[in-house]
């Protein structure tokens, strides 16, 4: 009996096993969780592949072909045989601890890049060094004038390139003469649907030597303003003495550079620049009268108004201003109507202008500012700005019942510092000054970026002409007369262009008879 039961159970188990072997393994392959996992994994891989492809759709790469000090000491000097060490001069100014950097910038993506695609311009920074000169060469698919346009900006250790278009595989090289003992290069920028990245590649000694030789040859052959000499001859325009420039806080940084270049070429000249606002500078010159006529110049954003009949104006350059906001405001374009609403108190939150949920905080200049006069005239249409209501630019702690949060500051630097640190802040400043602050966004005005081309087309209204005022005409042979002539030299015009000014005396532009007024 037990044997029969055992045989029966064995036959039953074999039958079940046969059925299991004949059925497909549906319990594993058709499990719903397994199918979901496979779909999710496929989606993750596809998303990663799409992300990698999109990141390279627009891609600008850069790398430094060469970064080396310039050693021009003759052999007999190095051996102690006497003689005079050779020096490097840029625009009549000796370059201390000179070095050369050769950068290559290339469109390495899958698509062409338009000016509109470059949301934040490409900037190269050279820590511990100062930019003396730079030139663009070896352009392939990029017009050289697009890179070397007047909107290219040089500030101490940084070059901010203008926005430019690059077709696929286009490239150019940037040759930079620097002063100082620092090292390294940092590049950054923001590209719509793409990236601006550094390309890393090993460089051997031979490659570095070839790059250095090529860069030095380019510097000698292209940059006429850079010379190698055993001594600096005193230029014919030099006059000794002391000269004080007072006035516009927007123009003061550029005036210091021009004054420093003049003093560097003319050791007997002492030029001081004091930023006290346009109208304070005009008033100081007018009060000093004939007594200070040979030693004082006023810097004015725009023509002096009536009331200064003894002052003579000398147009220097077109100065372009920009509306600036703290980046957290979340706006990139404002119309004149929206700005008038902001300053009238009808637009008090950035959501009303398509931005973030933040209160609008106005940081204005005082009434003596030429920048403010240009803003009130050109943007607000002659309307006065609302009354002061805030001590800290954050709340209405001065006039609680005011329709707007509005503070006043005495100079451009303070204004931009406040904009940089206060969420929702808005103000106005010269375009190159605004570019130096990380959290300050330059916004379009009525759909136009601030620039000389838009100004010439009469599309962009927020600009004026920078003037240097003297008390009467300075006598020939005085430092004041010599400095006014120096402002029209190539050296000064290069400084003006590097700060996004367009010189009035530039023969390449028809400005003296159009935008600049004599």
- pLDDT, residue 518, reads 47
Q: Which two tokens stand for residue 243?
A: 């000269």
**Cβ within 8 Å of residue 58, ≥6 positions away:** 109, 110, 111, 113, 117, 191, 192, 193, 194, 195
Report the distance separating Cα 500 and Cα 22, nearest Å: 82
What's the pTM value of the predicted model, to 2 decimals?
0.60
Same fold flag, 241-319+466-503 and 320-463: yes
On whether the CB atoms of residues 515 and 452 are closer than 8 A, the answer is: no
User: Residue 80 corresponds to which tokens in the numbers above?
Assistant: 């102690």
pLDDT of residue 83: 45
C-alpha distances (whole Å) from 483 to each of 26, 188, 295 are 92, 37, 11
Options 3.40.190.10, 3.40.630.30, 3.40.50.2000, 3.40.50.11140; which CATH number does 320-463 get?
A: 3.40.190.10
Supply the pLDDT for residue 37. Answer: 59
Q: Does residue 348 contact residue 360 with C-beta atoms inside 8 Å?
A: yes
Nearest to residue 378, comparing CAs of 313, 446, 299, 298? 446
Task: Determine the Cα–Cα distance for residues 377 and 96; give it in Å rounded to an integer.
Answer: 45
Q: Give Cβ neighbours of residue 467 (< 8 Å, ≥ 6 apart).
A: 299, 300, 302, 303, 304, 313, 314, 315, 316
HEC secondary structure over 463-488: EEEEEEEEECCCCCCCHHHHHHHHCC
| Domain spans of the chain, in order of start | 58-229, 241-319+466-503, 320-463
**Fold of the CATH domain 241-319+466-503:** D-Maltodextrin-Binding Protein; domain 2 (3.40.190)
142: left (phi over 0), alpha (psi -120 to 50) or beta: beta
For residue 441, give the nearest of 339, 324, 320 by alpha carbon: 324
What pLDDT, on a 0 to 100 scale, did the predictor assign at position 421? 97
Report the alpha-carbon distance of residue 412 to residue 251 in Å, rounded.
10
Q: What integer pLDDT is reported at residue 499 of this predicted model? A: 87
Residue in this structure with the two tokens 């055992």, named with its chain if needed: 6
Written as tens digits, the pLDDT of the chain (518 aa) is: 444 454 455 455 444 444 444 444 444 445 566 566 555 556 655 555 555 454 457 889 999 888 888 865 444 444 444 444 567 777 667 788 888 899 999 998 888 888 888 888 898 999 999 988 888 888 887 887 778 766 677 778 888 888 888 888 889 898 899 999 888 899 988 888 888 889 875 544 444 554 555 555 555 444 445 555 444 456 778 999 999 999 999 999 999 999 999 998 888 899 999 999 999 999 999 999 988 888 999 999 999 999 999 999 999 999 999 999 999 999 999 999 999 999 999 999 999 999 999 999 999 999 999 999 999 999 999 999 999 999 999 999 999 999 999 999 999 999 999 999 999 999 999 998 998 899 999 999 999 999 988 998 899 999 999 999 999 999 988 999 999 999 998 889 888 988 889 998 864 555 545 788 64
pLDDT at 17: 43
Chain centroid, CA 411 distance in Å: 20
Residue 393 confidence (pLDDT): 97
C-alpha to C-alpha distance for 347 and 339, rounded to whole angstroms = 8
CATH 3.30.420 correct for 58-229:
no
Range list of β-strands (E), 358-476: 361-365, 405-409, 425-430, 440-445, 463-471
Distances (CA, A) of 84 to 78, 80, 89, 229: 10, 11, 15, 10
Residue 132 DSSP SS3? strand
Note whether 110 and 167 are within 8 A (CB).
no
């Amino acid at each position: 009996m037990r044997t029969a039961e055992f045989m029966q159970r064995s036959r039953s188990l074999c039958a079940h096993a046969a059925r299991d072997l004949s059925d497909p393994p549906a319990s594993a392959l058709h499990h719903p969780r397994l199918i979901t996992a496979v779909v999710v994994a496929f989606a993750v891989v596809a998303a990663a592949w799409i992300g990698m492809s999109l990141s390279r759709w627009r891609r600008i790469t850069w790398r430094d072909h060469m970064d080396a000090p310039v050693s021009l000491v003759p052999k007999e000097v190095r051996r102690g045989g006497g003689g005079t060490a050779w020096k490097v001069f840029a625009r009549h100014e000796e370059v201390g601890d000179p070095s050369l950097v050769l950068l290559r910038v290339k469109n390495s993506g899958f698509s062409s890049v338009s000016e509109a695609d470059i949301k934040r311009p490409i900037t190269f920074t050279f820590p511990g060094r100062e930019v003396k000169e730079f030139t663009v060469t070896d352009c392939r698919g990029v017009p050289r004038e697009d890179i070397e346009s007047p909107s290219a900006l040089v500030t101490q250790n940084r070059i901010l390139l203008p926005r430019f278009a690059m077709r696929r595989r286009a490239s150019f090289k940037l040759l930079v003469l620097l002063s100082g003992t620092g090292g390294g290069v940092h590049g950054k920028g923001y590209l719509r649907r793409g990236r601006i990245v550094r390309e890393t590649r090993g460089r051997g000694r031979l490659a570095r030597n070839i790059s250095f030789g090529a860069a030095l040859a380019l510097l000698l052959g292209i940059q006429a303003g850079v010379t190698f000499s055993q001594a600096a001859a005193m230029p014919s325009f030099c006059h000794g003495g002391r000269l004080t420039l007072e006035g516009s806080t927007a123009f003061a940084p550029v005036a210091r550079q021009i004054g420093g270049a003049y003093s560097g070429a003319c050791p007997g000249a002492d030029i001081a620049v004091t930023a006290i606002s346009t109208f304070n500078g005009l008033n100081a010159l007018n009060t000093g009268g004939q007594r200070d006529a040979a030693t004082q110049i006023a810097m004015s954003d725009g023509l002096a108004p009536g009331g200064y009949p003894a002052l003579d104006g000398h147009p220097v350059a077109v100065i372009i201003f920009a509306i600036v906001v703290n980046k957290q405001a979340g706006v990139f374009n404002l119309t004149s109507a929206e700005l008038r609403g902001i300053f009238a108190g009808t637009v008090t939150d950035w959501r009303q202008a398509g931005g973030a949920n933040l209160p609008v905080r106005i940081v204005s200049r005082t009434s003596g500012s030429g920048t403010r006069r240009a803003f009130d005239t050109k943007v607000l249409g002659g309307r006065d700005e609302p009354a002061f209501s805030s001590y800290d630019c954050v709340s209405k702690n001065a006039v609680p019942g005011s329709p707007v949060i509005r503070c006043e500051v005495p100079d451009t630097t303070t204004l931009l510092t406040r904009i940089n640190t206060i969420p929702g802040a808005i103000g106005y400043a010269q375009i190159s000054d605004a570019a130096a602050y990380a959290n300050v966004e330059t916004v379009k005005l009525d759909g136009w970026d601030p620039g000389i081309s838009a100004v010439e087309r009469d599309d962009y209204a927020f600009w004026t002409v920078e003037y240097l005022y003297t008390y009467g005409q300075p006598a020939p042979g005085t430092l004041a007369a010599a400095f006014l002539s120096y402002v029209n030299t190539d050296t000064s015009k290069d400084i003006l262009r590097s700060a996004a000014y367009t010189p009035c005396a530039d023969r390449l532009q028809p400005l003296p008879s159009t935008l600049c007024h004599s």
